[in-house]
């Protein structure tokens, strides 16, 4: 067996997206890479899984030496299929991204990129989701690479606490303007939707989801603060959603 | 303005599912009900939102006096559309379900039912997701009604802590065999997938997602324990996913 770590790479923008190609190029310098990623963009899919239709996997060759599979499913499906059907052994690490666009703050809830990382975490695999604050297909990912390498090597060296994965967001700045890496908490923020209502040629109304991101959190320990101030943000994220602090209060209610 | 609370009802099994019809009948005894629910089943959609296609809403009349809209989107879309486009004022409560099947433990991550409740919570609306441990379309929801009424009235009376929604699961038992309502934490559990691999008539492989639920948690304060022992489980769920306990440890890493 190779001493190099086995790294599973996935994303939600699809296997041909420039973001995942950049992530693969970094991971090739660290370990043995297997890519299992969606065959088409899955943005906004949240933690969807495919329960009512079939899944297809196809071995593909896009660039480089790594083994790659394109999959008809969601990011979470890709991780499940990789672990159960494709890989001979449990990977040492799963990385997802680099997403074209932010997954900071409340966006973690809607993020396919992070759902893949969470799915790997549920399987007991150390996992990291990477996102760049630039929605463009032709975004420049070069300045992300050294930060991604640093964070990945620390995760491989230390492991991650049980039940925790990392949500990493990178500011859209020149390399020299990035101030460093900051461990953060998720900012309290929200999308204020402004649906764009239109009428189709048959006279029927329809809507496009639009909206404005609103940060309601003044804390200087949040991912939003870090990104606004030129840092790479790293939020440890958990999939035990229990609000433990609320249990005592609820136990005072008259329920029985 | 009516003194009765305004209650938004949604689900992920679709607006005609028996589970939501049962939930509507309970809510009609408590407040003024507006239904905005998907026009087709959305199970396993996680916290998906519709960003790359259009959304349609149609006013429908199915049973009873309540106002109802069927929507082409996901459960989270339904809540966003209800709050921004349909309702004149912010509802006093959002309830989602009754789901046909469990959303206990790790299922909360994959659950469309709970994604609607979380979306309402993000909007600052007290919210509850209800699920029955019976996947059948023709499941019996009668025994759920008194428990749902009790929990809903307590939420309306006390409100919910900031950033918290409730995940309620009901055992599939006769009313007389249900022992009561228990406040719980999310059990540490997992799905062990066993993909069912088949070959289509053109000779191409495809997969069906199958799997077995495995509870790895021996605690007697979990939702799984409560349900196995005949209780209705209530888990307070949060959408700040930060693993606060991990921040100190990560700050010892060499990142800069």
User: Which uninterrupted H or E stretch holds B226?
Assistant: helix B223-228
pLDDT in tens, B194-223: 888 899 888 888 888 888 889 999 999 999
Q: Is A235 on the interface with B (CB under 8 A)?
A: yes
Is residue A194 situated within a structural domain?
no
CATH of the domain at B160: 3.40.1210.10
| A200 contact partners, CB below 8 Å, separation of at least 6 | A206
Gap from B169 CA to chain A (nearest CA, Å):
14
The residue-averaged pLDDT of B121-134 equals 97
| Residue numbers in B near A83 (CB within 8 A) | 193
Work out the mean pLDDT of chain A and round it to a whole number.
Answer: 93
The residue-averaged pLDDT of A232-248 equals 97
Asked whether the beta carbons of B86 and B56 are under 8 A apart, the reply is no
User: So what's the pLDDT on residue A192?
Assistant: 85
CB-nearest to A164 from B167, B235, B243 is: B243
Measure the CA–CA gap between B215 and B225, rounded to whole angstroms: 10
Measure the CA–CA gap between B57 and A209, rounded to whole angstroms: 13
User: So what's the pLDDT on residue B43?
Assistant: 72
The residue that leads in pLDDT, A78 or A43, is A78
Residue A139, φ and ψ in degrees, nearest 5: -60, 155
Q: Which residue is it, tokens 């593909």?
A: A60
Is residue A210 situated within a structural domain?
no
The residue-averaged pLDDT of A244-250 equals 96
Is residue B119 situated within a structural domain?
yes
Gap from A234 CA to chain B (nearest CA, Å):
9
Q: CB B209 to CB A49 under 8 A?
A: yes
Q: CB A240 to CB B49 under 8 A?
A: no
Give the domain extent around A156: 6-187+220-250
User: Which uninterrupted H or E stretch holds B36?
Assistant: strand B32-38
pLDDT in tens, A19-47: 999 999 999 999 999 999 999 887 777 77
| Residue numbers in B near A255 (CB within 8 A) | 150-151, 154, 180-181, 183, 234
pTM: 0.93
Instruction: Return the residue in A39, A40, A48 with the most chain B beta carbons within 10 A, the one to mutate for interface testing.
Output: A48
Whether B173 has a pLDDT exceeding 70, the answer reads yes
Asked whether the beta carbons of A112 and A44 are under 8 A apart, the reply is yes
- Chains A, B: CB contacts within 8 A come to 221
Of A159, A45, A39, A215, give the one whose Cα is nearest residue A113.
A45
Q: CB B195 to CB A108 under 8 A?
A: no
User: Which uninterrupted H or E stretch holds B191?
Assistant: strand B189-193
| Residue B96: cis peptide before it, omega within 30 degrees of 0 | no
Gap from B2 CA to chain A (nearest CA, Å):
26
Closest-CA residue of chain B to A179: B256
Is residue B59 situated within a structural domain?
yes
Length of chain B measured in residues: 256
Measure the CA–CA gap between A49 and A240, rounded to whole angstroms: 18
pLDDT in tens, A124-176: 999 999 999 999 999 999 999 999 999 999 999 999 999 999 999 999 999 99
The residue-averaged pLDDT of B16-38 equals 97
Q: CB B57 to CB A207 under 8 A?
A: yes
Closest-CA residue of chain B to A237: B242
User: So what's the pLDDT on residue B92?
Assistant: 98
Q: Is B205 on the interface with A (CB under 8 A)?
A: yes
Is residue B88 situated within a structural domain?
yes
Of A94-103, B26-35, B46-55, the range with the lowest mean pLDDT is B46-55
Number of domains, chain B: 1
CA distances to A100, A131, B205 from A147, rounded to whole Å, are 16, 12, 39
Q: Is A77 on the interface with B (CB under 8 A)?
A: yes
Q: Which residue is it, tokens 């190099």?
A: A4
Asked whether the beta carbons of A237 and A166 are under 8 A apart, the reply is yes
Q: Is B108 on the interface with A (CB under 8 A)?
A: yes
Measure the CA–CA gap between B119 and B255, rounded to whole angstroms: 34
Measure the CA–CA gap between B62 and B23, rounded to whole angstroms: 14
Measure the CA–CA gap between A168 and A232, rounded to whole angstroms: 7
Is residue A203 situated within a structural domain?
no
Question: Confidence class of residue A218 from pLDDT cuts 50, 70 and 90?
Answer: very high
């Amino acid at each position: 067996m190779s001493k190099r770590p086995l790294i599973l790479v996935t994303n939600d923008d699809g296997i041909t997206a420039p973001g995942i190609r950049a992530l693969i190029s970094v991971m090739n310098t660290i370990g043995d890479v297997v890519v299992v990623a969606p065959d088409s963009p899955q943005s906004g899919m949240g933690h969807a899984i495919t329960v009512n239709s079939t899944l297809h996997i196809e071995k593909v060759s896009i660039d480089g030496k790594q083994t790659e599979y394109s999959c008809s499913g969601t990011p979470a499906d890709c991780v499940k299929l990789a672990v159960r059907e494709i890989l001979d052994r449990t990977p040492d690490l799963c990385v997802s991204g680099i997403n074209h666009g932010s997954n900071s703050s409340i966006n973690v809830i809607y993020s396919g990129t992070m759902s893949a990382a969470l799915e790997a975490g549920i399987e007991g695999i150390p996992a990291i989701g990477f996102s760049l604050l630039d929605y463009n297909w032709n975004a420049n990912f070069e300045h992300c690479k050294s930060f991604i390498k640093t964070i990945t090597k620390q995760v491989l060296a230390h492991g991650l606490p049980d039940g925790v994965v990392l949500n990493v967001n990178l500011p859209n700045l020149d390399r020299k303007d990035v101030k460093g890496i900051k461990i953060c908490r998720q900012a309290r923020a929200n999308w204020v939707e402004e649906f764009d209502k239109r009428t189709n040629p048959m006279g029927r109304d329809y809507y496009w989801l639009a909206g404005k991101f609103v940060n309601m959190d003044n804390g200087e320990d949040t991912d939003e603060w870090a990104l606004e101030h030129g840092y790479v943000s790293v939020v440890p994220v958990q999939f035990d959603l229990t609000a433990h602090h609320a249990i005592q209060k609820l136990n005072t209610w008259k329920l029985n």
